[in-house]
Amino acid sequence: MLALDDAIEPLTRAWCCYELFLASSKRMQIDIRAPTQSLLLYKQIENRATGLDIRSCRASNLNDYRMIMAAIAGMEDMINTKIIKLLGDRIHDLVQIFAATGHAETLV
């Protein structure tokens, strides 16, 4: 599950992005949750994901950041691509659910 705040901060956090990569590698489906689910939120996630670069992510613990970066060294572009695809596919599914249920803007 990807739990988001209004700033969509998890997509700037090294651990969160690393875990999204691991989920993608294991072909796990993710669920996206926020206080209010909306088409605007999905567009914002899509926009943030499009520019995602795990090399630009941060961690509150420098040792965690170093460990993650060492574990993915040389695979950063592939990881970015997998995360972007994983999020894009899920957002596509959620938009289809909105359309099918007749929710024009929000689903709580």
pLDDT tens per residue, range 42-73:
888 888 888 999 999 999 999 999 999 999 99
Mean pLDDT of 30-39: 84
Q: Are strands 37-38 and 106-107 parallel, antiparallel or unpaired?
A: antiparallel
pLDDT of 102: 66
Q: Tell me the CA distances in angstroms from 22 to 15, 52, 68, one per residue in order.
A: 10, 16, 12
Q: Are strands 32-33 and 37-38 parallel, antiparallel or unpaired?
A: unpaired
Percent of the chain with pLDDT strictly greater than 70: 94
pTM: 0.84
pLDDT of 107: 47
3-state class (DSSP) for residue 57 = coil
Six-digit token string for 1: 């599950």
pLDDT of 32: 87
Contact (Cβ atoms closer than 8 angstroms) between residue 41 and residue 90: no
3-state class (DSSP) for residue 24 = helix
